[in-house]
């Protein structure tokens, strides 16, 4: 299979690389330390068209195919250093915009998708709970129908973008005994009575992507806020996860490429024992391993994109890509630090931050253990 980009796709990726380098990467050490979300960067990405990539033109997007979308997200990771901002954009697209596109009513699509595409609305997703993480459908957030309204009560955690979000995709159960068949999805606007953003959560990495709890206390919404059919919220959520697992790590592939190039430059210029350290086999071998990981990770991501374009992508395909890319990203980040030695451990070198960001990739969108379960199920083991 040939996953080379077309001239148009390559040109678009080159443009977003320039955007990321020139507009999204300034003052990252301070912003990472202060956990500062870049609204300016968010707006610049929206002006470029990033947030609207997978959304049809009739709803304010550009209608880009999966390969083009992946290419742009890869370019953001390669050109920029604000992985938190890129993560926030991913969360916004895959768990908010896509569910509305796939399961929303025409009224919901017309109302919400254009501002989600142009960046005037920021989306968030409330599904994880203190006792419902990997076992997400054991959630305790309850929803009760009362005539033409629904009333939600519960607490969500790990809600990316919540402190800055305008629109929340929220999931709740009508009856825990029904399991996945009792789940309902809702689109809830900021400011809705009973919806409250809770404590901000500090993270090891992706620190420029804000995260907090989301609290629902007799949060009352109209039936028109329901996303998809009643009791079919699990289907909506699974759709968002399929897209997220397929595309969210494209930017990580870009970071892996940047890491590799940075390490090659370093081992050519850094000298020990009167030789560039790249001449030592132990160092060169790490570079080779980084190269192999990057190439195979990129192939897996673009293969999934190709399958999506053919409507052939399966849960197992996306899980394999998510598992391999995330674990490869962590290992390459460790190698990058080791290659830079003590300097790589220092904040000012901006190498250690990639490792802190990379660790999260083995956890969000389903842990590596969950991805292995999905793959095993696909193999009918």
With residues binned 3-state (H G I as helix, E B as strand, rest as coil), the percentages for the chain, rounded to 5, are 60, 15, 25
DSSP string of 208-264, one letter each residue: TS-EEEEEEEEEEEEGGGEESSTT-HHHHHHHHHHHHHHHTTHHHHHHHHHHHHHHH
Q: Which residues make up the CATH 1.20.140.10 domain(s) of the chain? A: 249-378
Alpha-carbon distance of 14 to 259, in angstroms, equals 18
Residue 354, helix vs strand vs coil: helix
pLDDT at 215: 98
Alpha-carbon distance of 262 to 255, in angstroms, equals 10
Q: Which residues make up the CATH 1.10.540.10 domain(s) of the chain? A: 7-122
- The active-site residue out of 213, 244, 348, 352 is 244
Q: In tens digits, what is the pLDDT along the chain, a chain of 381 residues?
A: 677 899 999 999 999 999 999 999 999 999 999 999 999 999 999 999 999 999 999 999 999 999 999 999 999 999 999 999 999 999 999 999 999 999 999 999 999 999 999 999 999 999 999 988 888 888 999 999 999 999 999 999 999 999 999 999 999 999 988 888 999 999 999 999 999 999 999 999 999 999 999 999 999 999 999 999 999 999 999 889 888 888 999 999 999 999 999 999 999 999 999 999 999 999 999 999 999 999 999 999 999 999 999 988 788 999 999 999 999 999 999 999 999 999 999 999 999 999 999 999 999 999 999 999 999 999 998
* Closest listed residue to residue 176, CA positions, set 208, 109, 131, 215: 131
Q: Which residues make up the CATH 2.40.110.10 domain(s) of the chain? A: 124-231
DSSP string of 249-290, one letter each residue: THHHHHHHHHHHHHHHHHHHH-EETTEEGGGSHHHHHHHHHH
- Residue position matching structure tokens 């451990």: 345
Beta strands in 53-141 (DSSP E): 123-126
7-122 fold: Butyryl-Coa Dehydrogenase, subunit A; domain 1 (1.10.540)
Residue 171, helix vs strand vs coil: strand
Going by CATH, does the domain composed of 249-378 fall within 1.20.140.10? Answer: yes
How far from each other are the two terminal CA atoms of the chain, in whole angstroms? 28
pLDDT at 156: 97
pLDDT at 108: 98
Please check whether residue 64 is in contact with residue 53, taking contact to mean a CB–CB distance below 8 angstroms: yes
Number of neighbours of residue 284 by Cβ within 10 angstroms: 14
Residue 144, helix vs strand vs coil: strand
Active-site residue, 350 included: no
pLDDT at 136: 85
User: Which pTM does this prediction carry?
Assistant: 0.96
Which one of 3.40.50.300, 2.40.110.10, 2.160.10.10, 2.40.37.10 gives the CATH number of domain 124-231?
Answer: 2.40.110.10
């Amino acid at each position: 299979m040939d996953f080379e980009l077309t001239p148009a796709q390559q040109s678009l990726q080159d443009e977003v690389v320039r955007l990321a380098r020139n507009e999204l990467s300034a003052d990252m050490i301070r912003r990472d330390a202060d956990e500062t979300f870049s609204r300016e960067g968010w707006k610049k990405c929206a002006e470029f068209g990033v947030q609207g990539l997978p959304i049809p033109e009739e709803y304010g997007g550009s209608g880009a195919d999966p390969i083009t979308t992946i290419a742009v997200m890869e370019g953001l990771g390669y050109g920029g250093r604000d992985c938190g901002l890129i993560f926030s954009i991913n969360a916004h697209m895959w768990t908010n915009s896509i569910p509305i596109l796939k399961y929303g009513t025409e009224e919901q699509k017309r109302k919400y998708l254009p501002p989600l595409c142009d960046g005037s609305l920021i989306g968030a997703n409330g599904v994880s709970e203190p006792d419902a993480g990997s076992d997400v459908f054991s959630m305790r957030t309850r929803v009760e129908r009362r005539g033409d309204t629904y009333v939600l009560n519960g607490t969500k955690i790990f809600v990316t973008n919540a402190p800055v979000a305008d629109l929340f995709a929220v999931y709740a159960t009508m009856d825990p005994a029904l399991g996945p068949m009792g789940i309902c999805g809702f689109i809830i606007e900021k400011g809705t009575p009973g919806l409250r953003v809770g404590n901000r959560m500090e993270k090891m990495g992706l620190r420029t992507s804000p995260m907090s709890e989301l609290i629902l206390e007799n949060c009352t919404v109209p039936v028109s806020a329901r996303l998809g059919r009643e009791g079919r919220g699990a289907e909506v959520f699974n759709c968002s996860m399929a897209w997220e697992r397929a595309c969210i790590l494209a930017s990580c592939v870009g970071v892996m490429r940047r890491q590799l190039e940075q390490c090659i430059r370093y081992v050519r210029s850094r000298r020990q024992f009167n030789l560039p350290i790249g001449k030592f086999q132990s160092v060169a071998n790490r570079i080779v391993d980084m190269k192999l990981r990057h190439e195979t990770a990129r192939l897996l991501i673009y293969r999934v994109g190709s399958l999506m374009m053919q409507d052939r992508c399966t849960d197992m395909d996306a899980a394999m890509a998510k598992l391999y890319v995330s674990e490869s990203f962590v290992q390459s980040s460790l190698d990058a630090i080791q290659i830079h030695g003590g300097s790589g451990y220092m904040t000012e070198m901006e190498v250690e931050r990639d490792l802190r960001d990379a660790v999260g990739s083995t956890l969000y969108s389903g842990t590596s253990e969950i991805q292995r379960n999905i793959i095993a199920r696909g193999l009918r083991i």
